Structure 1
């Protein structure tokens, strides 16, 4: 009886086994490779977010330096005029929260962007644009506040709370007294935000919010 068919069959069996082992090894390695690729993408996303945050911080710092130089060069009256006040500097009570902006989403709006009615007024502005105290007051809170992002709460002498939300950074601390038009932080896009802007809320006696535009107009400003 010839051994040729037996050898051919054995060779075929060995080849088939090798192929099966190779395919099995490839399948076994497929999942770890996918995990590695996903981990790599996550690390890249984290690193990109870190770089963006660092650039925003540097931009905010440069804007503060430029603002400080401007304040040193111009008079009090011209400075207040940048923030919407054109009267006697000694009689100023309220100014606008920032000098350069576009009015965007208004008070009381509803829609998919908000969990409830929009409780403030949005002012679109560039990242790092300085934010100022709208009046004399005391800083009562500086924190990350969920959808509000990085938020500063300023309490005015009459008990009104003014919320500055979505900031990139803050230059004040809790308990600090600030004067009207003092810089307190910078525009950002933290929290529930689709782009850099200030979400400003005005809450008389710390209660429910009112329309910031009406409040600013009642103070003699034209936002």
Structure 2
């Protein structure tokens, strides 16, 4: 029997190549080896496609998160501006109280007596244009919206500690009894209903111990009315 050409791999070399999943150039690949290689390539391709899909999904998620973050930042800038209009200039996330009006002139104060009032003046008057928005000075629950005789249209906001804030002489109310409101939410409008000589907000602050000077209460909240 003639000798095999020298370039042909030996049986041992072929075994080594097959064991590595490789074949020498021009060498014969057994059908089962070819099927194995095709399966490995298909699996690798599927894994690559799956990885690409995961990366694309993560990129979409990050894009959505960035958009929400941008929207939140824009809202935060707007919220900061609103709070600044009502006398609060700190961190919007830490706000506890604001002033009831963005624009006003301080007029009759707490404790005055005279012919304009049936008894001692238990509130603070803020002169403002009719229709000027009135806002909640703090978080609370609306416990009354009604015509209150000399107080005119009155909204009472009750705070978590039991303090009542009275908004009187309003032209209209934007809230209803039982409604939860948050600091700086609009609750009504300046008017001249009831015993009033002109458009203004009569604000009273009544703690469980009685009426207190609204200006002192607002200052205690870190505001400068």
TM-score (norm 1): 0.66
Residue equivalent to 2:170: 167
Separation in structure 2 between the aligned mates of residue 196 and residue 123 of structure 1, nearest angstrom: 9
Instruction: Kindly report structure 1 stretches of 4+ aligned residues shifted beyond 3 Å.
Output: none
In 1, Cα distance between the equivalents of 2:214 and 2:174? 23
What root-mean-square deviation, in Å, do the aligned CA atoms of Structure 1 and Structure 2 show?
Answer: 1.6
**Which of residues 141, 157, 161 in structure 1 aligns to 2:160?**
157
Higher Rg of the two aligned structures: 2
Counting only pairs closer than 5 Å after superposition, residues 68-83 of structure 1 correspond to structure 2 as 75-83=78-86
Where is the helix percentage greater, Structure 1 or Structure 2? 1
Show CA shifts across 1:81-107 (max 9, x none): 000000000000000001000000000
SS at match of 2:125: strand
Residue 190 of structure 2: aligned partner: 187
CA drift of 1:73 comes to 11
- Gaps of at least 5 residues in structure 1 are 1-71
Partner Cα separation in structure 1 for residue 219 and residue 85 of structure 2: 16
Unmatched segments (≥5 aa) in structure 2: 1-74
Structure 1 residue 208, shift from structure 2 partner: 2.0
Q: Which residue of 1 aligns with 2:142?
A: 139
Structure 1, residues 38-95: CA drift from partner, whole Å, max 9, x if none?
A: xxxxxxxxxxxxxxxxxxxxxxxxxxxxxxxxxx896111110000000000000000
- In the comparison of the two structures, how many residue pairs are matched? 152
For residues 132 and 172 of structure 2, the distance between their equivalents in structure 1, rounded to whole angstroms, comes to 11
